[in-house]
């Protein structure tokens, strides 16, 4: 079970996996794909072929306005501060903040 607040957006072409007891605040944006680099070669590749699964483990808290990009794994019990942009996977039981998001504390 997870709790999803109003106006959170899941934009997926393949898969976003959300564990149990995950709290997701409003205005959160989670995507499993992007537009790639601005090169002719990347623009010719369909976005579904550039898709990478996003995995959010159990007991995660995601603050308001957080953006989680493709291929990211959020470890169990992690807390992501409001307005953060998560571009890389983060370990379990950590506090993540910033743009781009970084681990600021192990919980």
CATH code (residue 22) = 2.160.10.10
- Is the link from the previous residue into 100 a cis peptide, with omega within 30 of 0? yes
Report pLDDT digits (tens) over 69-86: 999 999 999 999 999 999
Domain with 66, as residue range(s), is 2-106
9-59 pLDDT per residue, tens = 887 778 899 999 999 999 999 998 876 677 777 778 777 777 789 999 999
Give the active site residue among 3, 7, 15, 35.
35
Query: In this predicted structure, what is the pLDDT of residue 46?
Result: 76
> Does residue 87 surpass a pLDDT of 70?
yes
Q: Is 33 assigned a catalytic role?
A: no
pLDDT at 56: 96
**Number of domains forming the structure of the chain:** 1
Q: Look at residue 9 in the predicted model and tell me its pLDDT.
A: 82
- CB within 8 A of 96, min separation 6: which ones? 78, 79, 80, 81, 84, 86, 90, 102, 103, 104
């Amino acid at each position: 079970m997870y709790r999803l607040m109003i106006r959170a957006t899941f934009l997926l072409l393949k898969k976003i996996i959300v564990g149990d007891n995950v709290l997701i605040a409003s205005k959160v944006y989670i995507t499993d794909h992007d537009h790639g680099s601005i090169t002719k070669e990347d623009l010719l590749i369909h976005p579904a072929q550039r898709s990478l699964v996003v995995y959010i483990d159990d007991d995660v808290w995601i603050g308001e306005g957080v953006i989680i990009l493709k291929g990211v794994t959020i470890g169990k019990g992690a807390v992501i501060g409001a307005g953060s942009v998560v571009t890389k996977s983060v370990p379990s039981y950590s506090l993540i903040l910033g743009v781009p998001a970084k681990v600021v504390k192990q919980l």
